[in-house]
Protein backbone atom coordinates (compact mmCIF):
# COMPACT_ATOMS: atom_id res chain seq x y z
CA UNK A 1 0.00 0.00 0.00
CA UNK A 2 1.27 3.48 -0.91
CA UNK A 3 0.99 6.24 1.66
CA UNK A 4 1.10 10.00 1.25
CA UNK A 5 3.74 11.96 3.20
CA UNK A 6 1.12 13.10 5.72
CA UNK A 7 -0.09 9.56 6.32
CA UNK A 8 3.49 8.28 6.44
CA UNK A 9 4.52 10.70 9.19
CA UNK A 10 1.44 9.85 11.26
CA UNK A 11 2.06 6.10 10.81
CA UNK A 12 5.71 6.47 11.81
CA UNK A 13 4.69 8.25 14.99
CA UNK A 14 2.16 5.51 15.83
CA UNK A 15 4.71 2.77 15.24
CA UNK A 16 7.39 4.48 17.33
CA UNK A 17 4.91 5.12 20.12
CA UNK A 18 3.80 1.49 20.15
CA UNK A 19 7.29 0.20 20.87
CA UNK A 20 7.22 -1.39 24.32
CA UNK A 21 10.95 -0.86 24.75
CA UNK A 22 10.67 2.90 24.36
CA UNK A 23 8.12 4.06 26.96
CA UNK A 24 9.49 7.59 26.91
CA UNK A 25 8.14 8.02 23.36
CA UNK A 26 4.58 7.01 24.14
CA UNK A 27 3.60 10.66 24.53
CA UNK A 28 3.59 11.16 20.76
CA UNK A 29 1.37 8.23 19.86
CA UNK A 30 -1.10 9.09 17.12
CA UNK A 31 -0.10 12.73 16.76
CA UNK A 32 -0.54 14.22 13.31
CA UNK A 33 2.09 16.42 11.60
CA UNK A 34 0.02 19.44 12.57
CA UNK A 35 0.05 18.43 16.23
CA UNK A 36 3.79 17.86 16.11
CA UNK A 37 4.32 21.28 14.55
CA UNK A 38 2.13 22.88 17.22
CA UNK A 39 4.18 21.17 19.96
CA UNK A 40 7.41 22.52 18.46
CA UNK A 41 5.85 25.97 18.11
CA UNK A 42 4.76 26.01 21.76
CA UNK A 43 8.33 25.28 22.87
CA UNK A 44 9.64 28.29 20.93
CA UNK A 45 9.60 31.34 23.20
CA UNK A 46 10.06 33.71 20.26
CA UNK A 47 6.99 32.24 18.59
CA UNK A 48 4.92 32.59 21.74
CA UNK A 49 5.95 36.21 22.39
CA UNK A 50 5.50 37.31 18.77
CA UNK A 51 2.25 35.36 18.53
CA UNK A 52 0.97 37.08 21.66
CA UNK A 53 1.83 40.47 20.17
CA UNK A 54 -0.03 39.59 16.97
CA UNK A 55 -3.09 38.49 18.92
CA UNK A 56 -3.00 41.81 20.80
CA UNK A 57 -2.76 43.78 17.55
CA UNK A 58 -5.64 41.85 16.00
CA UNK A 59 -7.83 42.32 19.06
CA UNK A 60 -7.15 46.06 19.00
CA UNK A 61 -7.99 46.22 15.29
CA UNK A 62 -11.21 44.24 15.64
CA UNK A 63 -12.28 46.19 18.73
CA UNK A 64 -11.62 49.62 17.18
CA UNK A 65 -15.30 50.74 17.31
CA UNK A 66 -15.54 49.56 20.93
CA UNK A 67 -12.30 51.36 21.82
CA UNK A 68 -13.66 54.51 20.18
CA UNK A 69 -16.83 54.23 22.26
CA UNK A 70 -14.88 53.83 25.51
CA UNK A 71 -12.24 56.43 24.58
CA UNK A 72 -14.93 58.90 23.58
CA UNK A 73 -13.08 60.31 20.56
CA UNK A 74 -13.45 59.47 16.86
CA UNK A 75 -10.65 59.28 14.27
CA UNK A 76 -11.95 62.33 12.36
CA UNK A 77 -12.70 64.62 15.29
CA UNK A 78 -10.58 67.78 15.41
CA UNK A 79 -9.57 69.73 18.50
CA UNK A 80 -8.48 73.05 17.04
CA UNK A 81 -8.93 74.79 20.40
CA UNK A 82 -6.04 72.71 21.80
CA UNK A 83 -3.60 74.06 19.19
CA UNK A 84 -1.60 77.25 19.44
CA UNK A 85 -1.43 80.01 16.85
CA UNK A 86 1.11 78.04 14.80
CA UNK A 87 -1.05 74.91 14.75
CA UNK A 88 1.08 73.04 17.30
CA UNK A 89 -0.52 71.07 20.14
CA UNK A 90 -0.52 72.75 23.52
CA UNK A 91 1.27 70.98 26.36
CA UNK A 92 4.16 68.54 26.48
CA UNK A 93 5.13 65.81 23.98
CA UNK A 94 2.69 66.91 21.31
CA UNK A 95 -0.29 67.43 23.60
CA UNK A 96 -0.16 64.14 25.51
CA UNK A 97 -2.70 64.21 28.32
CA UNK A 98 -5.27 62.11 30.09
CA UNK A 99 -7.80 62.88 27.35
CA UNK A 100 -5.38 62.39 24.45
CA UNK A 101 -3.02 59.56 25.32
CA UNK A 102 -0.65 59.98 22.35
CA UNK A 103 -1.25 63.67 21.78
CA UNK A 104 -2.74 65.51 18.81
CA UNK A 105 -1.82 65.95 15.17
CA UNK A 106 -0.30 69.36 14.41
CA UNK A 107 -2.39 71.45 12.07
CA UNK A 108 -5.67 69.49 12.27
CA UNK A 109 -5.76 68.55 15.94
CA UNK A 110 -6.93 64.97 15.44
CA UNK A 111 -6.27 62.43 18.20
CA UNK A 112 -3.22 60.28 17.37
CA UNK A 113 -4.14 57.29 19.55
CA UNK A 114 -7.53 56.59 17.99
CA UNK A 115 -6.14 57.15 14.49
CA UNK A 116 -3.41 54.62 15.23
CA UNK A 117 -6.04 52.08 16.28
CA UNK A 118 -8.01 52.61 13.08
CA UNK A 119 -4.78 52.71 11.06
CA UNK A 120 -3.94 49.30 12.51
CA UNK A 121 -7.39 48.09 11.45
CA UNK A 122 -6.88 49.43 7.93
CA UNK A 123 -3.42 47.90 7.51
CA UNK A 124 -4.39 44.47 8.81
CA UNK A 125 -7.57 44.34 6.71
CA UNK A 126 -5.72 45.24 3.51
CA UNK A 127 -2.83 42.89 4.27
CA UNK A 128 -4.97 39.87 5.15
CA UNK A 129 -7.41 40.42 2.28
CA UNK A 130 -4.55 40.75 -0.20
CA UNK A 131 -2.76 37.73 1.26
CA UNK A 132 -5.88 35.54 1.02
CA UNK A 133 -6.57 36.58 -2.58
CA UNK A 134 -2.97 36.19 -3.73
CA UNK A 135 -2.61 32.84 -1.95
CA UNK A 136 -5.81 31.56 -3.58
CA UNK A 137 -4.73 32.64 -7.06
CA UNK A 138 -1.22 31.27 -6.55
CA UNK A 139 -2.44 27.93 -5.19
CA UNK A 140 -4.91 27.38 -8.03
CA UNK A 141 -2.52 28.37 -10.84
CA UNK A 142 0.51 26.68 -9.28
CA UNK A 143 -1.34 23.41 -8.67
CA UNK A 144 -2.78 23.26 -12.18
CA UNK A 145 0.57 24.13 -13.76
CA UNK A 146 2.51 21.64 -11.70
CA UNK A 147 0.09 18.71 -12.02
CA UNK A 148 -1.17 19.05 -15.59
CA UNK A 149 2.03 20.43 -17.13
CA UNK A 150 2.20 20.74 -20.91
CA UNK A 151 0.87 23.83 -22.62
CA UNK A 152 -1.01 24.97 -19.51
CA UNK A 153 2.21 24.99 -17.51
CA UNK A 154 3.93 26.97 -20.27
CA UNK A 155 1.13 29.55 -20.39
CA UNK A 156 1.02 30.02 -16.61
CA UNK A 157 4.81 30.35 -16.48
CA UNK A 158 4.67 32.92 -19.26
CA UNK A 159 2.03 34.93 -17.37
CA UNK A 160 4.11 34.67 -14.19
CA UNK A 161 7.23 35.93 -15.92
CA UNK A 162 5.25 38.76 -17.53
CA UNK A 163 3.82 39.82 -14.16
CA UNK A 164 7.25 39.75 -12.52
CA UNK A 165 8.64 41.91 -15.32
CA UNK A 166 6.08 44.67 -14.70
CA UNK A 167 7.33 47.57 -12.52
CA UNK A 168 5.05 47.44 -9.50
CA UNK A 169 5.50 51.01 -8.29
CA UNK A 170 5.13 52.60 -11.73
CA UNK A 171 1.94 50.69 -12.51
CA UNK A 172 0.51 51.42 -9.05
CA UNK A 173 1.19 55.14 -9.53
CA UNK A 174 -0.45 55.09 -12.97
CA UNK A 175 -3.34 52.73 -12.25
CA UNK A 176 -4.70 54.30 -9.08
CA UNK A 177 -5.38 57.84 -10.42
CA UNK A 178 -6.83 56.32 -13.59
CA UNK A 179 -9.33 54.27 -11.62
CA UNK A 180 -10.19 57.25 -9.43
CA UNK A 181 -10.94 59.42 -12.48
CA UNK A 182 -12.91 56.58 -14.04
CA UNK A 183 -15.31 56.23 -11.13
CA UNK A 184 -15.07 59.68 -9.51
CA UNK A 185 -14.89 63.20 -10.84
CA UNK A 186 -11.94 65.49 -10.26
CA UNK A 187 -13.75 67.34 -7.47
CA UNK A 188 -15.56 64.39 -5.90
CA UNK A 189 -14.36 62.91 -2.64
CA UNK A 190 -13.05 59.38 -3.06
CA UNK A 191 -14.72 56.79 -0.85
CA UNK A 192 -12.36 55.22 1.71
CA UNK A 193 -13.68 51.78 0.74
CA UNK A 194 -12.78 52.47 -2.89
CA UNK A 195 -9.20 53.36 -1.96
CA UNK A 196 -8.88 50.21 0.13
CA UNK A 197 -10.29 48.11 -2.71
CA UNK A 198 -7.85 49.61 -5.22
CA UNK A 199 -4.88 48.76 -3.01
CA UNK A 200 -6.08 45.19 -2.51
CA UNK A 201 -6.58 44.82 -6.27
CA UNK A 202 -3.08 46.14 -7.00
CA UNK A 203 -1.55 43.73 -4.50
CA UNK A 204 -3.61 40.85 -5.93
CA UNK A 205 -2.38 41.56 -9.46
CA UNK A 206 1.30 41.42 -8.49
CA UNK A 207 1.46 39.32 -5.32
CA UNK A 208 0.41 35.83 -6.47
CA UNK A 209 3.54 34.93 -8.43
CA UNK A 210 5.74 33.75 -5.54
CA UNK A 211 3.01 31.45 -4.19
CA UNK A 212 2.30 30.08 -7.67
CA UNK A 213 5.95 29.19 -8.23
CA UNK A 214 6.28 27.68 -4.76
CA UNK A 215 3.17 25.50 -5.20
CA UNK A 216 4.16 24.49 -8.74
CA UNK A 217 7.54 23.25 -7.55
CA UNK A 218 6.00 21.30 -4.66
CA UNK A 219 3.38 19.69 -6.89
CA UNK A 220 5.97 18.69 -9.50
CA UNK A 221 7.95 16.96 -6.73
CA UNK A 222 4.85 15.06 -5.57
CA UNK A 223 3.01 14.18 -8.77
CA UNK A 224 5.22 11.17 -9.53
CA UNK A 225 5.08 9.78 -5.99
CA UNK A 226 3.56 6.36 -5.39
CA UNK A 227 0.47 7.56 -3.55
CA UNK A 228 -0.39 9.91 -6.42
CA UNK A 229 0.13 7.16 -8.99
CA UNK A 230 -2.07 4.83 -6.91
CA UNK A 231 -4.87 7.40 -6.72
CA UNK A 232 -4.60 8.08 -10.44
CA UNK A 233 -4.71 4.33 -11.22
CA UNK A 234 -7.84 3.94 -9.10
CA UNK A 235 -9.66 6.40 -11.35
CA UNK A 236 -9.60 9.50 -9.11
CA UNK A 237 -10.73 12.69 -10.84
CA UNK A 238 -8.84 15.94 -11.17
CA UNK A 239 -10.55 17.54 -8.18
CA UNK A 240 -9.74 14.58 -5.95
CA UNK A 241 -6.12 14.56 -7.07
CA UNK A 242 -5.65 18.26 -6.44
CA UNK A 243 -7.60 18.77 -3.22
CA UNK A 244 -7.35 15.37 -1.53
CA UNK A 245 -3.94 14.08 -2.60
CA UNK A 246 -1.67 17.02 -3.42
CA UNK A 247 -2.77 20.10 -1.46
CA UNK A 248 -2.91 18.39 1.97
CA UNK A 249 0.77 17.53 1.54
CA UNK A 250 1.97 21.04 0.68
CA UNK A 251 0.00 23.08 3.20
CA UNK A 252 3.07 23.71 5.36
CA UNK A 253 5.07 25.82 2.84
CA UNK A 254 1.86 27.57 1.78
CA UNK A 255 1.14 28.54 5.39
CA UNK A 256 4.68 29.84 5.87
CA UNK A 257 4.46 31.80 2.62
CA UNK A 258 1.15 33.32 3.76
CA UNK A 259 2.54 34.35 7.16
CA UNK A 260 5.49 36.09 5.50
CA UNK A 261 3.34 37.76 2.82
CA UNK A 262 1.17 39.63 5.36
CA UNK A 263 3.99 41.89 6.69
CA UNK A 264 5.11 42.56 3.12
CA UNK A 265 1.64 43.86 2.28
CA UNK A 266 1.59 45.94 5.47
CA UNK A 267 4.81 47.71 4.55
CA UNK A 268 3.71 48.04 0.90
CA UNK A 269 0.42 49.63 1.96
CA UNK A 270 2.27 52.06 4.21
CA UNK A 271 4.73 52.91 1.44
CA UNK A 272 1.99 53.54 -1.14
CA UNK A 273 -0.03 55.59 1.34
CA UNK A 274 3.11 57.57 2.15
CA UNK A 275 3.41 58.69 -1.49
CA UNK A 276 -0.33 59.34 -1.77
CA UNK A 277 -1.44 56.25 -3.71
CA UNK A 278 -4.69 54.52 -2.83
CA UNK A 279 -5.78 55.93 0.52
CA UNK A 280 -6.88 59.49 1.11
CA UNK A 281 -5.91 61.58 4.12
CA UNK A 282 -9.33 60.94 5.69
CA UNK A 283 -8.58 57.22 5.97
CA UNK A 284 -6.42 56.42 9.02
CA UNK A 285 -3.17 54.91 7.76
CA UNK A 286 0.35 54.54 9.12
CA UNK A 287 1.84 55.73 5.84
CA UNK A 288 -0.24 58.92 5.70
CA UNK A 289 0.51 59.72 9.35
CA UNK A 290 4.26 59.30 8.82
CA UNK A 291 4.09 61.45 5.68
CA UNK A 292 2.30 64.26 7.52
CA UNK A 293 4.74 64.04 10.43
CA UNK A 294 7.79 64.80 8.27
CA UNK A 295 7.15 68.54 8.51
CA UNK A 296 7.20 68.34 12.31
CA UNK A 297 10.24 66.16 13.00
CA UNK A 298 11.97 68.88 15.01
CA UNK A 299 8.98 70.66 16.52
CA UNK A 300 6.84 67.60 17.37
CA UNK A 301 8.88 64.35 17.22
CA UNK A 302 6.16 62.44 19.09
CA UNK A 303 3.97 62.69 16.00
CA UNK A 304 6.32 60.47 13.97
CA UNK A 305 7.38 58.34 16.95
CA UNK A 306 4.06 56.64 17.69
CA UNK A 307 3.09 55.50 14.16
CA UNK A 308 6.71 54.56 13.45
CA UNK A 309 6.94 52.35 16.53
CA UNK A 310 3.53 50.82 15.82
CA UNK A 311 4.32 49.71 12.26
CA UNK A 312 7.80 48.53 13.31
CA UNK A 313 6.39 46.37 16.12
CA UNK A 314 3.64 44.97 13.88
CA UNK A 315 5.93 43.98 11.01
CA UNK A 316 8.66 42.72 13.36
CA UNK A 317 6.19 40.47 15.19
CA UNK A 318 4.87 39.03 11.92
CA UNK A 319 8.39 38.31 10.65
CA UNK A 320 9.46 36.64 13.89
CA UNK A 321 6.33 34.50 13.97
CA UNK A 322 6.72 33.58 10.30
CA UNK A 323 10.29 32.41 10.87
CA UNK A 324 9.27 30.44 13.95
CA UNK A 325 6.38 28.86 12.06
CA UNK A 326 8.71 27.82 9.25
CA UNK A 327 11.03 26.13 11.77
CA UNK A 328 8.11 24.41 13.52
CA UNK A 329 6.74 22.99 10.26
CA UNK A 330 10.17 21.69 9.20
CA UNK A 331 10.78 18.26 10.79
CA UNK A 332 14.52 18.61 10.03
CA UNK A 333 14.83 21.85 11.97
CA UNK A 334 17.05 21.73 15.03
CA UNK A 335 14.87 24.19 16.96
The segments of the chain whose pLDDT lies below 50 read 1, 10, 12-28
Residue 3 has what pLDDT?
Answer: 54
Closest CA to 285 of 97, 112, 72, 73: 112
> Where in the chain are the domains?
42-329
The answer to whether 171 touches 254, Cβ cutoff 8 Å, is no
Kindly write down the DSSP assignment for every residue of 281-330, as one continuous string. Answer: TTS--HHHHHHHHGGGTTT-HHHHHHHHHHHHHHHHHHHHHHHHHHHHH-
pLDDT, residue 282, reads 80
- Strand segments (E) across the chain: none
State the pLDDT at residue 156. Answer: 92
User: Residues 68, 74: contact at Cβ < 8 Å?
Assistant: yes
Q: Which CATH number fits domain 42-329: 1.10.3720.10, 1.10.10.1100, 1.20.20.10, 3.40.640.10?
A: 1.10.3720.10
Task: Tell if the pTM clears 0.85, that is, is over it.
Answer: no
Measured distance CA(163)–CA(131) in Å, rounded: 17
pLDDT at 121: 92
Which of these, 139, 330, 325, lies nearest to 247 by C-alpha position? Answer: 139
The predicted-structure confidence for 32-86, as pLDDT tens digits, reads as follows 666 777 788 788 888 899 999 999 999 999 999 999 999 888 888 888 888 887 8
| CA-closest candidate to residue 140, choices 212, 237, 209, 210 | 212
Amino acid sequence: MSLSPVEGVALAEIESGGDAEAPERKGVVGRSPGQLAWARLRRDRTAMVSGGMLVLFMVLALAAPLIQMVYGIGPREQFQHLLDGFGMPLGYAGGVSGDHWFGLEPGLGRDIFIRLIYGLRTSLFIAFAAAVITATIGIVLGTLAGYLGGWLDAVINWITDLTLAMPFLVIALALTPTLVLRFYGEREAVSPAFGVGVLIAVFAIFGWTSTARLVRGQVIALREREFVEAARASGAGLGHMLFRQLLPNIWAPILVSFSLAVPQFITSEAALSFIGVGLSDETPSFGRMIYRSLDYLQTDPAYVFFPGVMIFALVFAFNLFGDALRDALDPKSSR
